[in-house]
């Protein structure tokens, strides 16, 4: 849809900016919600282009379809409503959308003489498509109530009155087991679908945590359905339930190719099971549904997904429908902004399997004429000729043909070198090295890998003079690259290394800069050398112990002496920390709270005797007892408004201990009982 058709006179700069934003980022759900809220206020003729645009981007989003249809119904554009339902109902098995459809039928067909017949057909149609949904109970219930309100006439009415009485007992016995089974499964199903957002629009995968959680929940639900919770032996019923779960999942995860492939694969599996059981018709039906699943995926949200195209082609190849396979590959190759290289490679492999090497050559001819193709098609065609037709000369000519076009591509040159090395043709390999490196088609930075391959080649089969010669020529090229200045010793390592064996230790390789050379060029890298690169050369240097580091937590009113450095606090000693873990949490203690300053003041004012008091004849210590009595614990809640009391310290026992005292409570039950006993 063009921007002219999508242009709407919002009359608000903020909404104009929001519209521009969704044009740049069409999957921004928040911006679309802002536009939809404003669109519902306007007349449908002004915002119809907006609705059409959003359902093209989100073709499986039932919420957007429902808003669009409700807006058309509000304007009584019933012809457009009919067309909208035709476009979305069969593709979107959402319970709310189907409820809206039934409401529409009730609203528009109620005045017709055939209303009851139309309504019954609508209920049958809806329940056939959406009746497996656990939330479809309201539709079933409405249908039952509707049927109860329809009166039958004639002899059928008399039979209808008697038949329930005759069959009620038999049906209750037969259906009791099914009822208990359905009740059990419904409880399990509620647990399986808990947390699934069934109304989320389908957007391309982003890898977010919320998205991953939804994918896991959907996969868990689908796996549960595949395990046959109903314990039915009807393969067709089991397949319909699993496919319904997959269809529900695709409404929210339609951009995930694995869900589409999983649906098609399960239909193919059910097709084979039914075929083994002898149900040919059902097997053929599910086989066509599997192909239709691939067709829907490649025609809608994943129209550029090569994986589904290739899986679809292999599926049709398995059914020996080669014409259909050609159409599938042709349809992808016709996409102008797609990279056709891998598609040509797979197309050549298919034609070779199905029709022979000559058909594969025709595909290769078309591929090399396509300006979008890369060097891979030449490599694939050459190796196919070598392995299938056993003709190395044809493969050699294909590589030479590709070299004319991709001589400046080091990856293609490496593939050609690998092929010649496999043939063990030393002279042709050496000639290829000389042609490529002396032609000037490769830039100095890109030619480093080829020089490394040349040096390795001479190290394996050449003499010392040729090795030194190649090494000197390579050094001249490397010296022109800034990153390799002063790395002569590092370049010497390549003469003596073999596979993952090196003439120096990992630390020595780092010290001479060899790992830097390998990191830049990428040549000769092995898993052992990669460990050298990733290893920390300063691993032997002593480092401070950071295990006791604490986060920076500045305090506004830090107590004096709490921390020698302003802005933080040390953790408690281990013993004190362990004691704190054994104590109940602070919320368990609600008072009374001790005033520490006053408690310390009490200790400071206690007058202790100079000598230890001697016990009396009875073994008691009167002075200590008197001292204990002289300390009076007075409640002092200066913040709560309670009567303030003062403590007195001293050994004199005369006089009042308290200057003030609190009156006993008026309704003290204990004191009232004591007074009754005295009386």
Q: How far is CA 434 from CA 322, 430, 470, 653, in A?
A: 45, 6, 10, 118
* Closest to 427 in 3D by CA, of 379, 383, 455, 461: 461
Q: Is residue 350 part of a domain?
A: no
* Closest to 247 in 3D by CA, of 378, 373, 129: 129
Query: What is the pLDDT averaged over residues 206-235?
Result: 92
pLDDT given for residue 645 in this prediction: 43
The per-residue pLDDT for range 335-363, each reduced to its tens digit, is: 999 999 999 999 999 999 999 999 999 99
**Contact yes or no for 38/54 (Cβ under 8 A):** no
pLDDT given for residue 250 in this prediction: 95
pLDDT given for residue 605 in this prediction: 86
Residue 523 has pLDDT above 90, yes or no: no
Task: State the Cα–Cα distance between residues 469 and 132, nearest whole angstrom.
Answer: 78
Q: Is residue 15 part of a domain?
A: yes
The per-residue pLDDT for range 397-430, each reduced to its tens digit, is: 999 999 999 988 899 999 999 999 889 888 889 9
pLDDT given for residue 618 in this prediction: 60
659 against 28, higher pLDDT: 28
Mean pLDDT across the chain, nearest whole number?
81
**Contact yes or no for 202/255 (Cβ under 8 A):** yes
* Closest to 59 in 3D by CA, of 100, 22, 27, 17: 27
At 247, the pLDDT band (50, 70, 90 cuts) reads: very high
Residue 455: strand, helix, or coil: helix
Query: What is the pLDDT averaged over residues 317-345?
Result: 94
The per-residue pLDDT for range 135-159, each reduced to its tens digit, is: 898 999 999 888 887 765 555 455 5
Q: Which of the listed residues 137, 162, 187 is the one where a domain comes to its end? A: 162
pTM over 0.85: no
pLDDT given for residue 391 in this prediction: 85
Q: Which domain holds residue 145?
A: 3-162
Residue 498: strand, helix, or coil: strand
- Which pair of structure tokens corresponds to residue 567? 């802005």
The per-residue pLDDT for range 371-395, each reduced to its tens digit, is: 999 999 999 999 999 999 888 899 9
244 against 591, higher pLDDT: 244
The DSSP code sequence of 596-637 is HHHHHHHHHH----SSPPPP-TTS--HHHHHHHHH-------
Share of the chain above pLDDT 90, in %: 39
Burial class (CB in 10 A: 0-12, 13-18, 19+), 215: middle
At 213, the pLDDT band (50, 70, 90 cuts) reads: very high
pLDDT given for residue 653 in this prediction: 42
Q: Is residue 633 part of a domain?
A: yes
- CA 670 from chain centre, in angstroms, equals 68
Q: How many domains does the chain have?
A: 2
Beta strands in 318-399 (DSSP E): none
Tokens 């649906």, located at residue: 263
Residue 222 has pLDDT above 90, yes or no: yes
Q: Is residue 646 part of a domain?
A: yes
Q: How far is CA 394 from CA 381, 383, 387, 391, 432, in A?
A: 10, 10, 11, 6, 17
Q: Which of the listed residues 130, 162, 194 is the one where a domain comes to its end? A: 162
Q: Is residue 132 part of a domain?
A: yes
Task: State the Cα–Cα distance between residues 242 and 226, nearest whole angstrom.
Answer: 6
Q: Is residue 418 part of a domain?
A: no
Residue 573 has pLDDT above 50, yes or no: yes
The per-residue pLDDT for range 607-656, each reduced to its tens digit, is: 877 777 676 666 555 555 555 555 554 444 444 444 444 444 444 444 44
What is the helix (H) or strand (E) element at residue 369, kind and residue range? Answer: helix 357-369
* Closest to 523 in 3D by CA, of 419, 475, 437, 451: 451
Residue 57 has pLDDT above 90, yes or no: yes
Q: What is the dihedral of CA 259, 226, 63, 144, to 10 degrees?
A: 160
Residue 161 has pLDDT above 70, yes or no: no
Q: Is residue 409 part of a domain?
A: no
**Contact yes or no for 642/635 (Cβ under 8 A):** yes
- Which pair of structure tokens corresponds to residue 520? 């830049």
Burial class (CB in 10 A: 0-12, 13-18, 19+), 295: middle
Query: What is the pLDDT averaged over residues 185-199?
Result: 90
pLDDT given for residue 442 in this prediction: 80
Q: Is residue 91 part of a domain?
A: yes
CATH of the domain at 39: 1.25.40.10
Q: Which of the listed residues 95, 127, 162 is the one where a domain comes to its end? A: 162
């Amino acid at each position: 849809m063009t921007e002219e058709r999508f242009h709407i006179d919002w009359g608000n700069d903020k909404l104009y900016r929001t519209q521009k934003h969704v044009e740049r980022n069409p999957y921004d759900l928040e911006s679309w919600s802002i536009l939809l809220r404003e669109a519902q206020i306007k007349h449908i003729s002004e915002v119809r282009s907006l609705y059409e645009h959003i359902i093209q981007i989100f073709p499986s989003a039932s919420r957007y379809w429902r808003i669009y249809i409700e807006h058309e119904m509000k304007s009584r554009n019933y012809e457009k409503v009919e067309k909208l339902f035709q476009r979305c109902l069969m593709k979107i098995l959402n319970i709310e959308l189907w409820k809206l459809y039934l409401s529409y039928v009730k609203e528009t067909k109620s005045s017709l003489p055939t209303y009851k017949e139309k309504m019954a057909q609508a209920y049958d149609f809806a329940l056939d498509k959406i009746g497996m949904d656990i939330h479809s109970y309201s539709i079933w219930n409405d249908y039952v109530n509707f049927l109860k309100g329809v009166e039958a006439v004639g002899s059928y009415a008399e039979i209808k009155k008697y038949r329930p009485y005759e069959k009620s007992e038999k049906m209750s016995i037969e259906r009791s087991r099914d009822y208990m089974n359905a009740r059990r499964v419904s409880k399990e199903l509620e647990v399986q679908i808990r947390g699934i957002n069934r109304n989320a629009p389908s957007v391309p995968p982003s890898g977010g945590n919320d998205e991953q959680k939804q994918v896991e929940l959907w996969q868990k639900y689908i796996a549960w359905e595949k395990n046959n919770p109903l314990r039915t032996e009807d393969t067709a019923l089991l397949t319909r339930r699993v496919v319904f779960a997959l269809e529900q999942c695709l409404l929210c995860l339609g951009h995930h190719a694995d869900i589409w492939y999983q649906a098609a694969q399960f239909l193919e599996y059910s097709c084979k099971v039914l075929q083994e059981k002898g149900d040919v018709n059902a097997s053929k039906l599910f086989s066509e549904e599997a192909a239709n699943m691939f067709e829907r995926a490649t025609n809608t949200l994943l129209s550029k997904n090569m994986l589904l195209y290739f899986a679809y082609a292999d599926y049709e190849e398995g059914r020996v429908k080669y014409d259909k396979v050609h159409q599938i590959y042709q349809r992808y190759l016709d996409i102008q902004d797609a990279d056709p290289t891998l598609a040509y490679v797979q197309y050549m492999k298919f034609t070779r399997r199905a029709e022979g090497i000559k058909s594969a050559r025709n595909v290769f001819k078309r591929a090399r004429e396509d300006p979008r193709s890369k060097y891979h098609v030449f490599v694939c065609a050459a190796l196919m000729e070598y392995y299938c037709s056993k003709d190395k000369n044809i493969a050699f000519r294909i590589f030479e043909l590709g070299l004319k076009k991709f001589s400046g591509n080091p990856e293609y040159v490496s593939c050609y070198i690998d092929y010649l090395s496999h043939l063990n043709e030393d002279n042709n390999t050496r000639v290829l090295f000389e042609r490529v490196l002396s032609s000037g088609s490769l830039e100095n930075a890109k030619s480093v890998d080829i020089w490394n391959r040349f040096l390795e080649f001479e190290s394996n089969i050449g003499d010392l003079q040729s090795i030194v010669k190649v090494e000197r020529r390579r050094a001249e090229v490397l010296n022109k690259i800034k990153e390799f200045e002063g790395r002569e010793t590092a370049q010497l390592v390549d003469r003596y290394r073999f596979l993952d064996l090196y003439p120096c230790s990992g630390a020595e390789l780092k010290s001479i800069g060899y790992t830097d050379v390998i990191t830049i060029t990428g040549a000769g890298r092995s898993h052992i050398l990669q460990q050298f690169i990733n290893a920390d050369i300063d691993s032997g240097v002593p480092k401070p112990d950071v295990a006791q580091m604490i986060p920076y937590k500045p305090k506004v009113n830090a107590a004096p002496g709490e921390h020698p450095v302003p802005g933080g606090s040390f953790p408690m000693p281990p013993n004190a920390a362990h004691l704190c873990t054994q104590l109940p949490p602070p919320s368990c203690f609600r008072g009374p709270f001790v005033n520490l300053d006053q408690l310390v003041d009490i200790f400071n004012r206690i007058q202790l005797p100079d000598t230890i008091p001697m016990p009396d004849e009875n073994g008691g210590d009167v002075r200590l007892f008197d001292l204990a009595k002289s300390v009076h614990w007075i409640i002092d809640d200066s913040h709560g408004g309670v009567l303030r009391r003062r403590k007195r310290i001293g050994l004199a026992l005369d006089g009042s201990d308290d200057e003030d005292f609190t009156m006993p409570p008026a309704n003290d039950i204990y004191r009232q009982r004591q007074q009754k006993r005295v009386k």
